[in-house]
Chains A and B, each alone.
Chain A
């Protein structure tokens, strides 16, 4: 499969999360864990710091958790200008019990009135778009 995000490569950060984005483009939400000691490894990295293994398993994880933190962005900065028309928009850090509390970022979908730390959220996947800089994206929604 040809992955669209490859053509829009963002090079910052650790750079071990290609499989995450590939999975999203395939319509699946997967996070990495160590193939040997089964420790969840998020953000993705190249070697397990607990047991030393270089192998990871990318396992499907339920897109369900709680808001660990959030912000309402009132200004579209230089590299996120594609979202100028959405300002103000809310970005959520969700903590996922299905992956030992890994925290995954996503822009909020739907009403933002109930946004607060601890609130339950459910996720879905958006296909690559200009707003998400040519990458697929996780979106979180507050559970009523």
Chain B
């Protein structure tokens, strides 16, 4: 039997079939007709069965007794959690409890977990790892365009004349999107890459600009300045569809291109070439990812890219737009459904009384009015303001910055509940561990990076006593006096489409007939909306809004003690904290150990040769790993993937947050490299 579902790795959302034999998934293959992947998968997608069948999959609830975990029944475990949560809520109030949802779980799981936080517990302390990836995208694009999502669709890339890719190693991290980009280039589209690393797409790009990490606003403003000075902007578009153009022009009046060139490390001639290439294109598309968002200036980086698109009229038509590539398979959905501390489903502000009133009526309880804490804030107030945390499908002990502090803080909690498919690094600190069903063992929906809501189908039974996340939450909620009566995730989706405008009309029945529907669904086109902002922007005035943005240097620049800049990222063969991929033999073989990429100019004076073991230290910690000497990284910068617990890059990163979106600075950390 072959079951159509969605790949659980990245946000591209490839359609895959799981082949079930004897109750196990023993093969996977791509859909030939799925509009996103059309017969392709990346190495990770091809390896899905490995983690599903892994003997380490969690099978039973566990309760900590002293230093040991003891197997418990579901009733024991859930009763224990309910009792503890009630005690803590009574003693310290609901805001002493923090809840993390998961961008790996379904829309239905996530909708329930935020409802659990808000309605059952009574706190807005609910967040998820979007905080660490695209929180700044949501904040930035809402300011500029009124909607925090990829403006255009994946299949439109070949229609662009120019694709500007920045801060995204697309070929490794969103390989199937890279397929569309490479196909586009074959059809005549020009590819421009701006990135500190010469990644595979940079290698084949028509134009490659290498900039220093954290200097994004400087090069983008240089582009804006050049376009304005050379009058390459789209006058009609600016007049008809935008606001605040004058402000932008004023802010750039005294902008020095020489300064920008010096700060970014990009020669002035290349800045000009890049700006002209982008501005002169009839249709130009911007693609970006963590290299733009994971900065203290993340929100402003995103806004700067929006400025660039608005200035040249590259929004609201096919083959254009500002296109954040979402990392996790369902980070778009988890954000849409408000696993965020400041909004209710569909990005409706929780501090707006009319919004609150509506949800209070729908859910039958008073919704708390104060925005809650973010992931990083919750963890850093653990043991103080936050006494208990409930974590569904996340592993902050490897994914969050400054792990030493995270470990210490989380160790101070009165109650830590972790619900996951594997016993993760974070689970080791838990008081209660609950085994969850994987994507292949439950029904639901995922929303991919281009807003495509797709059906996830149950192919096999969960291992042991593991249960679907939505079911665990509903059972726990009932014990806390707020019953959630759903017999199937489709009923939850039905509630979602009733309460959340952009999901309106998207039901399981509709999804049965398609490879997914891109929100918003107008009831006509079966595939939903291809691109946003066609007639009007989603801002209050209906116009796209320019913002004057000033360059903000990274908080921790290089100095004498820590003379290099570390930037973190991922390998194409490991996934995030590795709970799935490190248990997959062919992927683990391909990327078995941590490494640091360093330019020969930096390596030589330190006596470091390719393959040497080196020590990398920052103000917060140190790790030992292998050096990979390469000219693919610019001098003065080193790159470390963050997957490896034995050399966790996040032991080095710091707790510096973007003031608007609270995303941590994961791309610029001052470090020192020495030979071991």
Question: Do the two chains belong together in a single complex?
Answer: no
- Chain A contacts to B: CB under 8 angstroms: none
- Chain B contacts to A: CB under 8 angstroms: none
